Amino acid sequence: MRRGEWTNLEIAVLNTHRFITAKSVVYLVNLSINDFVSKKNKWLKKIKDYVDANMPGELIPYSVEYERQQLGSNDENKRSMIPKIIKSGYQALDLIYYFTAGADEVRCWTIRKLTKAPQAAGVIHTDFEKGFICA
């Protein structure tokens, strides 16, 4: 049975199990620095066409070499793809994040999308979930 032949009820039931094979796919295509900077690669369109025909998903061209060179750079014109890769990964896995801040640290916490506030607090510490108070 193909994806388009499933009923909404079947999809809803399957989604409760959060199978990794049911998640959308993010394809990372590693290019040379020259191809990444010039935004030209003879294979990119062929790869995109293949992906669209066989297993649709988001395609992100990037360059590991370029990212490595820009790692310690303060260049404001750099075009890092890392933020886009992170956002796409979170979206594909139905995850979100939130921050907590204190005098000694700022921390990012990852939770599933649509998690209720008490369960989100429980990610920090189980006592927070047990004693959660709504304001």
Give the domain extent around 71.
Answer: 3-93
pLDDT of residue 110: 93
99 domain-assigned: no
Kindly state whether residue 104 falls inside one of the protein's structural domains.
no
pLDDT class for 24, splitting at 50, 70, 90? Answer: confident
Please check whether residue 130 lies inside any domain of the structure: no
57 lies in some domain: yes
Whether this model's pTM surpasses 0.75: no
Residue 88 lies in a domain: yes
Average pLDDT over the chain, rounded to whole? Answer: 86
pLDDT grade for 60, boundaries at 50, 70 and 90: very high
Q: How many CB atoms lie within 10 A of CB 57?
A: 15
Tens digits of residue pLDDT in 73-110:
887 777 899 999 999 999 988 899 989 899 999 999 99
- What is the secondary structure of 97-130 as a DSSP string? EEEEE-SS-EEEEEEETT--HHHHHHHH-HHHHH
As for how many domains the chain has, the answer is 1
Does residue 127 lie in a domain region?
A: no
